[in-house]
Amino acid sequence: MVQNYGTLSVCTVTSGEFQNYIPIFIYTLRKAAPRAIARCLHRGELNEDVRGALRFLQSKGVRYDAPIENYKTDFPHNKSTTNCLRFLIEPSYLRETFMYITDVDFIFLPHEPPLDQYYIERFWEWGQCYWARRGFKRIVGSNEKAKRIAGGGVLVTADWFQATERLRGGYLEQVKDGTLGTVREDDEKMLWYLCAGSELKLPTKRGNRRKRKYKEIHIGDFKFDHRVAKKKKMKKKIPKGNYYKWHRLEEDPVWLELVEMCCKSEMVKDSITSLRTYMNDRKLLTLEN
């Protein structure tokens, strides 16, 4: 492969209430990596609140590709169907040199180098047609080894789509008939076997690590009280630099108005409220110390 620092899209697939994170996804990515393209595929029609938030971004001069609606509406809505579909999308959606596939409920933050350049560099270091990280080593509550690729961030190329073409159709049928996608993390296990069955190199636990700041802020973590309660673990997930960048984001008037609009969704409101509570409590502890 010829080394190429071309364009990158950040792609996600959503369904149901998760569409309400799309404006946050688009806006924070645009601020964090202006050259990257947000590509959102929604399994249905966007609700009026999301449309209003997107019109608001347009009014503020934020440029973006309009989300694609009514994607795979004939597929079931099992626990991880939508997550599986992220890795089974058609190659035609790769209109840039690279595609970074991730969850929709992330807040992207500005880094140096920006995330598009950073992940493309990791890609070339690994020397494969994709870049990914190993998932958890063990299955929760078991000593059984987990064969999983972390689904929260996978960089793919046209060569990856070509390499996995033989198997992707079969997995897509399994997702459609409901034999795959019924269990949480089915997508990560599927991705492992998709790459393994395509005779691609698999990431190891020690390989393909990333700098902590590029974990970004996963809003989804704040939907679960037990995750927020683990202060030490959460501090690792949100390192000091990202903590300060979050508070700078909270000074952005466009961000504040956008979040208020997105918080018409109770799911977004609850998770953002939990995130803000955690960040403000952490700020108080920092000041006291």
Phi-psi sector, 118: left (phi>0), alpha (psi -120 to 50), beta: alpha
- SS3 of 276, please? helix
Task: Write down the pLDDT at residue 4.
Answer: 59
Task: Write down the pLDDT at residue 157.
Answer: 96
Q: Is pLDDT at 229 greater than 50 in this prediction? A: yes
Q: Is pLDDT at 288 greater than 60 in this prediction? A: no
Split at pLDDT 50, 70, 90, the class of 2 is very low
Which residues pair with residue 131 across a beta bridge?
A: 155
CA atoms within 13 A on the CB side of 274: 20
Mean pLDDT of the chain: 90
CATH topology of domain 8-288: Spore Coat Polysaccharide Biosynthesis Protein SpsA; Chain A (3.90.550)
Query: Are 2 and 92 in contact, with CB atoms under 8 Å apart?
Result: no
What is the C-alpha to C-alpha distance for residues 18 and 12, in angstroms, rounded to an integer?
11
Cα 37 from chain centroid? 13
Stretch 188-215: mean pLDDT: 89
What backbone torsions phi and psi does residue 67 show, to the nearest 5 degrees?
Answer: -55, 145
Stretch 36-40: mean pLDDT: 97
Query: Are 8 and 34 in contact, with CB atoms under 8 Å apart?
Result: no
Whole-model pTM?
Answer: 0.93
Note the pLDDT tens digit of each residue in 138-169.
555 555 567 899 888 999 999 999 999 999 99
Residue type, 165: E
What is the C-alpha to C-alpha distance for residues 171 and 194, in angstroms, rounded to an integer?
8
Annotated domain spans of the chain: 8-288
